[in-house]
Amino acid sequence: MKTTSIPLLRSAPPLSPIRPVFHSHNPLRLPSKSPALRVSADHYRIEVRRVSYRPPGTQHNLLSEVSFSLPQKSFGLIFGRSGSGKTTLLQLLAGLSKPTSGSINIQRYRNDGNPNGPPQTLSPERVGIVFQFPERYLLADTVLEEVTFGWPRQKADLALREQLALKLQFAINSVGLNTISLEEDPHSLSGGFKRRLALAIQLDLQVQMPDLLLLDEPLAGLDWRARADVVKLLKHLKNELTLLVGTIKSGGSIMEDGNGRDAKGRTPTYMMLQVPFPVPLFA
Q: What is the DSSP letter of 60?
A: S
**Helical ranges in the chain per DSSP H:** 86-93, 143-147, 158-174, 191-205, 224-237
Architecture in CATH of 73-97+123-281: 3-Layer(aba) Sandwich (3.40)
DSSP 109: E
Between CA 271 and CA 33 the distance in angstroms is 35
Which sign does the torsion angle of CA 13, 17, 23, 29 carry? negative
- For the cut 60, the answer to whether the pLDDT of residue 224 exceeds it is yes
Closest CA to 22 of 201, 212, 162, 185: 162
Nearest residue to 90 (alpha-carbon basis) of 252, 269, 253, 247: 247
Alpha-carbon gap, residue 115 to 90, rounded angstroms: 25
26 three-class SS: coil
Cα separation, 258 vs 32, whole angstroms: 44
Q: What pLDDT, on a 0 to 100 scale, did the predictor assign at position 165?
A: 80
Give the model's pLDDT for residue 257: 29
CA distances (Å), origin 245, targets 41, 164, 217, 264: 27, 27, 7, 23
- Among 140, 67, 147, 58, residue whose Cα is nearest residue 102: 67
pTM above 0.85, yes or no: no
Q: How far apart are CA 189 and CA 183, in angstroms?
A: 12
pLDDT at 22: 29
What is residue 237's three-state secondary structure?
Answer: helix
**DSSP 3-state of 84:** coil
pLDDT in tens, 21-72: 323 333 333 334 444 434 345 788 999 999 999 999 998 888 988 888 899 8
Q: Categorize the per-residue pLDDT at 206 as very low, low, confident or very high, splitting at 50, 70 and 90.
A: low
CB atoms within 10 A of CB 33: 9
Q: For 157-204, what is each residue's pLDDT tens digit? A: 777 777 778 878 888 887 888 888 889 999 999 888 888 888 888 877
244 neighbors 216 (Cβ within 8 angstroms) = no
Burial (0-12, 13-18, 19+ Cβ within 10 Å), 246: buried
The helix/strand/coil state of 157 is: coil
The radius of gyration computed from the CA coordinates of the chain, to the nearest angstrom, equals 20
Burial class of residue 240 (count of CB atoms within 10 Å of its CB; 0-12, 13-18, 19+): middle
Q: 216: which strand partners?
A: 246
Q: Please name every residue paired with 78 in a beta bridge, in sequence order, or none if there are none.
A: 246, 279
User: What's the pLDDT score for residue 214?
Assistant: 93
Q: What is the pLDDT of residues 122-131, one digit of tens each?
A: 998 889 888 8
DSSP code, position 112: T
Strands 75-80 and 63-71: what pairing?
unpaired
Are 107 and 115 spatial neighbours (Cβ–Cβ below 8 Å)? Answer: yes
